[in-house]
Amino acid sequence: MSDTTTKKLALTTYTKLMRAAESATSRTSKVMTAAGLTISQFGVLEALYHKGPLCQRDIAAKILKSTGNITLVIDNLEKSGLVRRERDSEDRRFLTVHLTETGTALIAKVFAEVEAAIVADLATLTAEEQETLGRLCKKLGLKSAA
C-alpha cells in the first residue's frame, strides 16, 4: 500500500470512528442532561455506583480526567447532595467519596437509561461485530496509552 493510500485510509477510518463516537455520545448525553448531570458527573457517579467508595485520584483514573477537574466535579455533586466526602479514620489526610442515598437512587435510574441507549445503539451490530469492535477499540486505546 502506498504512503498516500495508507494516510487516506487512516484519515477516513479516524473520521468514521469519531463520527460514530460523537453520535453515540450525543444520544447518551441527552439522557444525562435530562437528569441534570454532565458527562463527568455521570462518570463519577457511575464509578462510585459500580466500584463503591473511592478516593478522588482513583475516580480520576477510572474516568480518564485530571484530579483537578475531578475536584470541581465532586464539589458540585456534593453541593447537590449526591455524594459526600469522608476522612479516613486512620489517616485523616485521606478522603474517600461516597454516594448518598439520593445519589444512589439517581445513578441507578440514569445508568439504566444510558445502558438501554447504548444497547439500542449497538443493536445494529451482531454480537460478533460488537466483540470485534471492542477488541479493535481496546487495541487502539492501548496503543495511545503507550
pLDDT-derived band of residue 65, with 50, 70 and 90 as boundaries? confident
- Band of residue 144 on the pLDDT scale cut at 50, 70, 90: low
**Mean local confidence (pLDDT), 22-39:** 92
pLDDT of res. 36: 95
Contacts of 96 (CB under 8 A, 6+ apart): 53, 54, 55, 85, 86, 88
pLDDT at 94: 83
> Residue 17, exposed/middle/buried by CB under 10 A (0-12, 13-18, 19+)?
middle
Q: Please give the pLDDT value at position 92.
A: 80
Specify whether the CB–CB gap between 73 and 40 falls below 8 A.
Answer: yes
Q: What is the pLDDT of residue 143?
A: 65
The residue-averaged pLDDT of 1-22 equals 90
Q: What is the four-CA torsion angle of 70, 110, 35, 57, rounded to 10 degrees?
A: 0
Question: Which residue has 443493536 as its cell numbers?
Answer: 123
Q: What is the reported pLDDT for 43?
A: 95
Give the cell for residue 84.
459526600
Query: Domains along the chain?
Result: 3-145 (1.10.10.10)
Residue 79 pLDDT: 97
Instruction: Please write the tens of the pLDDT for every residue from 87-129.
Output: 978 878 888 999 999 999 999 999 999 999 999 999 999 999 9
Pairwise CA distance, residues 109 & 83, whole Å: 16
Print burial letters for 67-78: b (CB count within 10 Å at least 16), e (below 16).
eeebeebbebbe
Q: Report the alpha-carbon distance of residue 27 to residue 33 in Å, rounded.
A: 10
Asked if 113 and 31 count as a contact pair (C-beta separation under 8 A), the reply is: yes
In this model, does residue 145 exceed pLDDT 60? no
pTM value is 0.83
